[in-house]
Amino acid sequence: MAIHIVLDCANPERLAEFWSEALGYSVRGFAEQWGMLQGPRPEDILLLQRVDEPKVGKNRMHIDVTASDIETKAAELEAIGATRLTPEPQKQFKSEWIVMADPEGNEFCVCKE
């Protein structure tokens, strides 16, 4: 069984550029309102769905990007269009993460591996 993540957005092409670089996924293509990215494992899929309504409020689900050095990874993501939402890393239960947003404002976290 595989789980595919679908992210609503205004511009699948723009977010495909961001998320493919952020995750190391390949852009597989676009059709109608859809953009498809595939991870290193064929079953790892991120679908970008064009929707008319704007994002309002906090995401109910989000993506976690893991890295051994979260400050370096956060800086790399900022360089390709992300925005840092927390000035300092958050810490809880021996975990550490930085809350960020993609170019359309969808929240995600950079988490220490």
- pLDDT for residue 50: 96
pTM equals: 0.89
The Cα-based distances of 35 to 51, 58, 75, 94, 101 in angstroms read 12, 23, 26, 36, 19
Q: What is the C-alpha radius of gyration for the chain, rounded to an integer number of angstroms?
A: 14
Mean pLDDT (the chain) is 94
Question: Which band of pLDDT confidence, cut at 50, 70 and 90, is reported for residue 30?
Answer: very high
Instruction: Catalogue all structural domains in the chain, each as residue range(s) with its CATH number.
Output: 1-52 (3.10.180.10), 59-113 (3.10.180.10)
Are the CB atoms for 25 and 72 separated by under 8 Å? Answer: no
Going by the DSSP 8-state scheme, the letter that residue 42 receives in this structure is T
Percent of the chain residues past pLDDT 70, beyond the cut:
100
Q: What is the pLDDT of residues 35-70, one digit of tens each?
A: 999 999 999 999 999 999 988 888 888 999 999 999
Exposure of 18 by Cβ count < 10 A (0-12 exposed, 13-18 middle, 19+ buried)?
A: buried
